[in-house]
Amino acid sequence: MSGLPGLLMEKSRLKTLLFSLGMLLVTGVATTNALDHAPALENGTTTTPLAPSQEKSRTTQRGLDSKQQAFMAQTLSRFAGERADITWYLGDGEAGIFAADIESALNAAHWKVFNKPFPAGANGMPTVIGVAIFIMPNERSQKIADELLKALVSERVAVFAEPLTKFFPSFATLGSQRSTDPYETRVLIVVGNHP
């Protein structure tokens, strides 16, 4: 594939590979070939999942115990005052409990957290497997998302991050690249179906 679509595909593959390398550095566990294991969202985009040995089993409820929440709070406290909008699928009690655990960790880090369930696929969002972090189009949101992603991966959560503009291009005009406004720099966290 050539041209812009080819470059975007290569960028996506490189991003997946770099994330896998980061997982190896954080957790000490590597996949045999992360690109072969990348599941797809409903719209065809790829995620960067954990290796099967790292994922929490489908038969167990996802969650963060108090020690994991305290570790995440300590790690993310340098972003105190930042905003996170958490959503989970209406009617999915397991996802709701897991979203509450993430909310507790962020509240302990003194973030402004809004937690509300929505039907899967509502408002044009893709149906998510695992946890998705959607990033606003500015540098601060990217930094916040990067740290949140690392913190969740270190706790063996199946998580990935994507720019919100991938699904909502109109958000590209919101604020400036250097914004520090918590609404403009917020991250959106979707606790989706259990992987």
Contact (CB, 8 A) for 117 and 145: no
Q: What is the pLDDT of residue 59?
A: 55
- pLDDT band with cut points at 50, 70 and 90 for residue 65: very high
Lowest mean pLDDT among 21-35, 46-60, 113-127, 167-181: 21-35
| Selected residue with higher pLDDT from 60 and 55 | 60
Whether residue 112 is predicted with pLDDT greater than 50 in this model: the reply is: yes
pLDDT in tens, 161-176: 999 888 878 777 766 6
- pLDDT band with cut points at 50, 70 and 90 for residue 113: very high
Amino acid symbol at 177: Q
Range of the domain at 169: 3-191
Alpha-helix residue ranges (DSSP H) falling in 36-190: 66-76, 93-108, 139-154
Averaged pLDDT for residues 144-148: 95
Q: What is the pLDDT of residue 67?
A: 95
Average pLDDT, rounded, for the chain: 74
- pLDDT band with cut points at 50, 70 and 90 for residue 182: low
Q: What is the number of structural domains in the chain? A: 1
Whether residue 101 is predicted with pLDDT greater than 80 in this model: the reply is: yes
Q: What is the pLDDT of residue 180?
A: 67
All residues at 6 or more sequence positions from 61 whose CB lies less than 8 Å from its CB, including other chains: 94, 97, 98
> Angle at CA 27, nearest 5°, toward 103 and 74?
35
